[in-house]
A and B are shown apart, each in its own frame.
Chain A
Amino acid sequence: MAMKRRAGTILALLTTSALLATGCSGGEEESSNDGELFTKPVTLTWWHNASQDGPGKAYWEKVAKDFSALHPTVTIEIEAIETNQLQRTRLPAALLTSDPPDIFQAWGGGEIREQVEAGYLKDITDQVQAEVASIGKAAEIWAVNGRQYGLPYRMGIEGIWYNKDLFAKAGITSPPTTFDELNEAVAKLKAINVIPIALGAGDKWPAAHWWYNFALRACSVDTLRKASTEAVFDDPCFVKAGQDLKAFIDTQPFQPNFIATPGQNDPTSANGLLANGKAAMELMGDWNRGTLDTVAEDKEALSKFIGWFPVPAITGSAGDPKAALGGGDGFACAKNAPPECVEFLKYIVSPEVQKGYAETGTGLPVVKEAASGVADPALKAILEATADATYIQLWLDTAFGSTVGNAMNDAIVSIFAGNGKPEDVVEAMKAAARK
């Protein structure tokens, strides 16, 4: 009896130590992979934000599977996490640990600069020169001090999505190219009793983007560059942007109670108003084609009436009328990720994968060879306007980083609510930069 029990104990001990031994060797294998590519088995963990079931999520699963088929030594483990969760909590917390995901969503701008300064990201400059050349100037958003730390897979500029039928009904013959024409269009649309412009100020950023565009029109490109890299907001053009915005709000172009209207994703949102023919215009990025679809009662009708035009110019302003606001999504590799990570990143922006991405209709591709995958006329218009733009300014909140960006958006929302002054935005940005 006693013998038997002891034998059992020894057996248990043996199995445990065997498990421990294999566990250890497994860990070593993964970390010692610095030499040849695709010789030893590696597992890449991939965190992206296509968390909702749909073409975007399915496409990334396919991409991971295809890459593993191409390189059988690589296993890719995907975790799809909702954007806010991913960007605000999961990713920052994971990056503080010694075991972050290998490849993850990167939004560029101020955030990537902070991550590089903290030593989180892999410098991929030498490996991705060909890809950067094919992407063009948009890749700069994922570079810090001339070194590349990530690559975009989606990039587009924002503009005004509009309802062609309502425009025709109101007697607007061509899309406005200046703000004066936009104001006229607003008046005509009011006359036929539709909401001229839908605004999702509830989410803050859709409202803030109006201010960004006024700033883009009021400020010179140099001023905007300096603001992004050095957090200098002294130029009076930033106050001018607020004054122009205030004047525009005073013409009452938005739906009533816009301050609490959500931006997208539900039928009561600004997206819902445009998609269902209740509003005639909405200022939004290139992803809007897909998000409008999710809230439309009649997708067929939507695809017929939806159109797109660039944000109008302001006559006699300092800014470049051909400059546009834009942004995108990209991926970056963690500093200690295996070298296969960079290969996977390059694969994601390769023309055939990009073309497949464009065909999902969830966003615009970044490499020119993939343009043929874009079928929707509105998206084609954006692609042309993006190629036409003389300068693309990254969304200001992303460019300035979360802290200044958030304070700026709050102050802009305050102008929309009627109790903020144009000067407050600059004050809030300066105060946040010190926080």
Chain B
Amino acid sequence: MTATDSIRYPAGGAEAPPAGSRPARGRRASRRAENRRKWYEIIGLTTPAIAIYVMFVLVPMGFAVYYSLFRWRGVGPPTDFVGFDNYVVAFQDPIFLDALRNNAIIVVGSLVIQGPIALAVALLLNRPFRGRTVFRLLVFVPYVLAEVTVGIMWKLLLTDGGTVDALLRAVGLGSLVRAWLADLDIVIWTLLAVLTWKYVGFAIILLLAGLANVPQELNEAAAIDGASWWQIQRHITLPLLGPTIRIWMFLSMIGSLQVFDVIWVTSVASVRSLGASATMATYMVDNGFFARLWGYGNAVAVILFVISFVAALLFQRFLLRRDIEGAITRRVN
């Protein structure tokens, strides 16, 4: 609309526009109305979700950062501002450094141990054989069990002279018996084994779903060309499974950084406080609630968040880029 137009036909003016311009203006108006409606819809439909996200994710995160700057024991409002002291204290505490090391062991250990096992089992379970459904169900059972149940179960199995020890002795491996949960050098590896047992089923199910998406035609074509089973897996299945494997690695890494419940239940307070089995999350609860250092606990929470966030970003930037292109980044044409 030109300037003269708008003077001659002010919006909502009493004077009717000439017949010729009516269709154009009507179309524009309806497009504007449609546009407005679209925005109302967007605002109306996303507001509840955004409000909940802001209220229960962003606001608490903001509070955590705020509280972490105080020396605060959770009695009365925080008043003793100490800046970044809590963060300095955390990185000087040998137990926190132990927790960091343990988290690193769990992150790397989970990837290195669960990955190959899950892949092998998934490839095996992907071949048709009698009772396949039962096996698929069985490998998934530990993942479905509640973490606390798993923790208590393994705590009882691994106790001194418990089932695990008895089994080892029964098969003549008595010399391998250790103080699984009491030996400060061994406990983290015991916990890694429990975590592996618990979460490998998840990796297997993910990979099986990925395998279901590998087109059968490709395998057939390769077979006709004379490729062996191994060659098919190596050159067709694995590359096509790439996105699934990378997503699993991502989930496993984030889960390992934040692992809490299985460790908390399986390993006792004394062993955690000595650093042998502490993770960042258990350290946070032990210090935040049990030592009643709420400000300090919040600082540990923020550190845990930043580490997880940075790890997630780096992983997405370098490994997941192809898989999530266009989903959260601008599509590159």
Contact = CB atoms under 8 A, between A and B. Distances in A.
B49 interface: no
A203 B270 CA distance: 6
B280 to A, nearest CB: 17
B292 interface: yes
Contacts, number: 95
A201 interface: yes
A417 B75 contact: no
B199 interface: no
A399 to B, nearest CB: 15
B309 interface: no
A92 B273 contact: no
Given A204-B269, A435-B296, A114 B75 contact: yes
Interface in B157-215: 159-160, 162, 179, 181-184, 187
A92 B75 contact: yes
A204 B271 CA distance: 9
Interface residues of A, number: 41
Contacts of A204: 269-270, 273
B52 to A, nearest CB: 21
B268 A202 contact: yes
A262 interface: yes
Interface string A86-119: 0011001101100000000000000000110111
B173 to A, nearest CB: 19
B296 A260 contact: no
A261 B289 CA distance: 22
Contacts of A202: 268-271
B89 A435 contact: yes
B76 interface: yes
Given A118-B76, A202-B268, A88 B273 contact: no
Contacts of B271: 202, 259-260
A435 B270 contact: no
A435 B71 contact: yes
A215 interface: no
A435 B86 CA distance: 9
B74 interface: yes
Contact of B291 (A95, A201, A432): A432
Interface string B56-82: 000000000000000101111100000
A260 B75 contact: no
B156 A268 contact: yes
B81 to A, nearest CB: 15
B269 A92 contact: no
Interface in A198-228: 201-204, 207
A114 B274 CA distance: 28
Interface string A245-262: 000000000001111111
Given A204-B269, A204-B270, A260 B182 contact: yes
Nearest to A205: B269
Given A262-B268, A435-B89, A435-B296, A257 B182 contact: yes
B290 interface: yes
B181 A260 contact: yes
B293 interface: yes
Given A257-B160, A435-B89, A407 B269 contact: no
A243 interface: no
A257 B187 CA distance: 12
Contacts of A120: 75
For the residues of A in contact with B, the DSSP-based class is helix
Contacts of B74: 92-93, 96
Interface residues of B, number: 32
Contacts of A89: 289
Contacts of B290: 84, 88, 402, 406
Contacts of B289: 88-89
Contacts of B292: 88, 92, 401-403, 406
A417 B76 contact: no
Nearest to B152: A266
B291 A203 contact: no
A432 B273 CA distance: 15
Contacts of B268: 202-203, 260-262
Interface in B128-167: 156, 159-160, 162
Given A117-B75, A260-B179, A406 B291 contact: yes
Interface in A401-420: 401-403, 406-407, 409-410, 413-414, 416-417, 419
Nearest to A405: B291
B160 A256 contact: yes
Nearest to B294: A92
Nearest to B180: A260
Given A88-B289, A413-B273, A268 B76 contact: no
A30 B281 CA distance: 41
Given A203-B270, A414-B274, A417-B274, A403 B73 contact: yes
Contacts of B179: 256-257, 260
A88 B73 CA distance: 11
Contact of B159 (A92, A268, A403, A407): A268
Contacts of A93: 74
B273 A410 contact: yes
Nearest to B160: A257
B291 A413 contact: no
Nearest to B82: A435
Nearest to A413: B270
Contacts of B269: 202-204
Nearest to B267: A260
A415 B76 CA distance: 35
Contact of B270 (A92, A201, A432): A201
A259 B273 contact: no
Contacts of A435: 71, 89, 291, 293, 296
Contacts of B159: 268
Interface string B276-320: 000000000010011111101000000000000000000000000
Interface string A385-407: 00000000000000001110011
10 contacts: A92-B292, A96-B76, A117-B76, A201-B270, A202-B268, A203-B268, A257-B182, A266-B156, A406-B290, A435-B296
Given A260-B181, A268-B162, 9 more contacts: A92-B74, A92-B75, A201-B270, A203-B268, A257-B182, A268-B156, A410-B274, A413-B273, A435-B293
10 pairs of A and B residues whose beta carbons are closest in the complex? A202-B268, A260-B182, A257-B182, A406-B291, A402-B292, A118-B76, A88-B289, A118-B75, A410-B273, A257-B179
Interface of A: 84, 88-89, 92-93, 95-96, 114-115, 117-120, 201-204, 207, 256-262, 266, 268, 401-403, 406-407, 409-410, 413-414, 416-417, 419, 432, 435
